[in-house]
Structure 1
């Protein structure tokens, strides 16, 4: 059914203006005043902003880790994301050495099929890059539409790849049109520091942070950036948490290297002291990279404002405190890494970013949606409000106030990392391809309604991006 969104203020990465939006056949068919919308359902957005749906470029739904599996799957995770104003997620597909890449992709398709209420896509982990893997990658890109590849520089003996694998992945990505993503921490040094801490009886959650100091993240970020410049390739650094990593990304970009950076709401709002909470409560805040000293928050906000960092992902990887995080009692290295972030990503960026003057309203849209769509081959189908784009839209009340709490969130996990935080600004209604998923703050979607999205190649997206739509 046709829909007409009236009386809202449309906000894109470049413009803010009053207009109505006509939706037909899952897409935006017209934008303007006094539109001919005979037979359309009228949706009143008076007093609200209308944004392009948020895109979360960094989720781990139903992911095995540390002898357990993350609590939120593609159903609960995408429902929570929708409540927060996100309409597309890109999840990380994990691979194993010696395993055909397609096997891993098929497992992720099985996890998501008939569950996701939002459109979704996958990144693919690269754990080794031999001739066999090289032969498989063109099919992954051309048939599966997976055009981004994750290399872990940490988690020794689990996920960590060596520098040769990273460098060869960068070279291959340049040739095939992929974007390389890195978890940038020096896993070898971390492994040494963790063993040393445990040998000295240092087992509490705070030692997760103290054995992964910011210098470790800065070093790995700089190394990855230098290898990117050497390969003349492209790099996206995930979950940047500290000044040391921001500095290395800024230096690389100043040299003209094609390097991008993402941070996450937890690094913008929480700090290392949370890991010192008594009664093992600090385990709730164990993820990697770890939380940093509070002063890093201003560095990250400034980096978003000045363009040294470009996107905000959630790094959603939720584990219950009871029964899952508790696996690490007496040994911080056994605490499952990750937290529940997918639902509050957009509202925290708006409340703490826009309303406190740290970023502009248009930057907000760019950071949580548009730039992500451009980098990951989704634009202009996703990430903007324009004729021809998918009708992925958020009707957002900028004055609504709420207190974040596990009692009211929609994730499956038993705690909220932002418990008690007051935020202003909330998604009222959310549409995915023109159909309501959230309507008047109620879930009205259907598990399985989300489509798997094949994405364009990195070089194709960026080379033609500004010619497709003026944004």
Structure 2
């Protein structure tokens, strides 16, 4: 089966060129000069549109247990929503519970995802129990195609790791070439601030932000970087939200240290003001790290331009407002942490192009190419080139849309971006050569997505 995408502008991280794209089966077969006649079974008209590699969301949480409930998107509903938004690969997190093994955890997450995903997927591993056995099992995870290991400086009693435990895991990462991912917030200090706020009767959702100040994200980020320097391990800071943390990452990268960081759309477009919305509406915006005052947004956009921030993922972890976020009425510390976003990442980042914050090529780079390289999927993913998987998005840069829970496909009862008007919209999506989204609707289904065993981070020096 062959498909020709004709008349569009092919945009890779390295540049844009007018070209047609020939797909044979699941692979890109050729880029063809405009006007050159090629026969194909199906022709897609991309006139006036961009032809870009499918998005790669390197940070999602489908069916994630948290605080007595679970995130609302299953691997099926979440990957369907991803496809609607032009994301053709997700990398989710297998969550180790204390007292369990990494390999049994990975098996459980395979049981959740295998046969249920509409787009391709991989896993990171959350390490919450550092001991001789789990450190040894990191090697087996790498053999199984999972070579990124997330740890937490937050959530004492649940995921929290001591500096000594982090040091040991980093030593194993240095030995194996794996990358340690870090949730960098000072959880010990945060817990004290939370307890003090509640004791003083401060229970509204905005307190979630006020008790997790940006200075404590900056401190933890600096500490993680120091531990990585001592051990020589690669370090990847997840969901960076604050200029304080960005300053620490920038300084480390300027010295040549293998330190990388992502940010998320919510930190680029939303702020502490949203957390402060009255009548418990602010609960919709509770995530960790929290939304910051608006002045942080300017620094994050700068970080994306200068590559001090390497890419943008979503930290997609949706909890419905009704019956889930409402668990925290009267106690902000019980509001499930997480927000929906997997469907809108590509469109939101395109606003950076519209506003002059990002070049067209940088848009593709931070949403597809860099995650492919960072997480060992390039050149199979993240590029429009012969031999790559035919994960392709035909994108209309002039289409107008308004985001709303009434029209999104995520399994959650609110939109964090309700009423936001955007310029640019996904037109057609191919996943490994199959049209899964077009103007007629969704044509994919559970089981199309395949597990991706991943190579090591390609940016390590």
TM-score range, shorter chain: over 0.9
2:155 matched to 1:166? no
Measure how far apart 1:98 and its partner are: 2.4
Measure how far apart 1:37 and its partner are: 3.8
What is the match of residue 56 of structure 2?
Answer: 55
Q: How does 1:215-364 map to 2 (within 5 A)?
A: 215-351=215-351, 353-364=352-363
1:375-420 deviations in Å (ceiling 9; x for gaps): 1001110011111110000000000000000011011100000001
1:159 to 1:6, Cα distance in 2 relative to 1, 3 A: same
Measure how far apart 1:261 and its partner are: 0.9
Measured in 2, the distance between the counterparts of 1:314 and 1:441 equals: 27
Structure 1 length normalisation: TM-score? 0.96
What is the match of residue 411 of structure 1?
Answer: 410
Name the SS for the 1:171 alignment partner.
helix
Query: Is the Cα contact below 8 Å between 2:328 and 2:334 reproduced in 1?
Result: yes
Measured in 1, the distance between the counterparts of 2:90 and 2:283 equals: 26
Name the SS for the 1:182 alignment partner.
strand
Measured in 1, the distance between the counterparts of 2:231 and 2:40 equals: 55
Q: How does 1:137-152 map to 2 (within 5 A)?
A: 137-142=138-143, 144-152=144-152
Measure how far apart 1:128 and its partner are: 2.6
Name the SS for the 1:226 alignment partner.
helix
Measure how far apart 1:103 and its partner are: 1.1
Name the SS for the 1:128 alignment partner.
coil
Name the SS for the 1:88 alignment partner.
strand
Measure how far apart 1:114 and its partner are: 2.0
Name the SS for the 2:98 alignment partner.
coil
Q: How does 1:81-230 map to 2 (within 5 A)?
A: 81-142=82-143, 144-230=144-230
1:57 to 1:441, Cα distance in 2 relative to 1, 3 A: farther
Measured in 2, the distance between the counterparts of 1:314 and 1:303 equals: 17
Measured in 2, the distance between the counterparts of 1:175 and 1:439 equals: 46
Structure 2 length normalisation: TM-score? 0.98
Moved over 4 A (4+): none
1:197-225 deviations in Å (ceiling 9; x for gaps): 11111111111011100001000011111
Measured in 2, the distance between the counterparts of 1:36 and 1:121 equals: 38
Name the SS for the 1:10 alignment partner.
strand
Measure how far apart 1:135 and its partner are: 2.1
Measure how far apart 1:333 and its partner are: 0.3
Unaligned regions of 5+ residues in structure 2, if any?
A: none
Measured in 2, the distance between the counterparts of 1:412 and 1:3 equals: 32
Query: Is the Cα contact below 8 Å between 1:427 and 1:441 reproduced in 2?
Result: no
Measured in 2, the distance between the counterparts of 1:383 and 1:9 equals: 16
Name the SS for the 1:225 alignment partner.
helix
How big is the alpha-carbon RMSD for the aligned residues of Structure 1 and Structure 2? 1.2
Measure how far apart 1:25 and its partner are: 2.6
Name the SS for the 2:343 alignment partner.
coil
1:24 to 1:36, Cα distance in 2 relative to 1, 3 A: farther
Query: Is the Cα contact below 8 Å between 2:128 and 2:158 reproduced in 1?
Result: no
1:102 to 1:5, Cα distance in 2 relative to 1, 3 A: same
Measure how far apart 1:86 and its partner are: 0.4
Measured in 1, the distance between the counterparts of 2:58 and 2:230 equals: 26
Measured in 1, the distance between the counterparts of 2:248 and 2:440 equals: 41
Unaligned regions of 5+ residues in structure 1, if any?
A: 465-471
Measure how far apart 1:129 and its partner are: 2.6
Measured in 2, the distance between the counterparts of 1:306 and 1:238 equals: 18
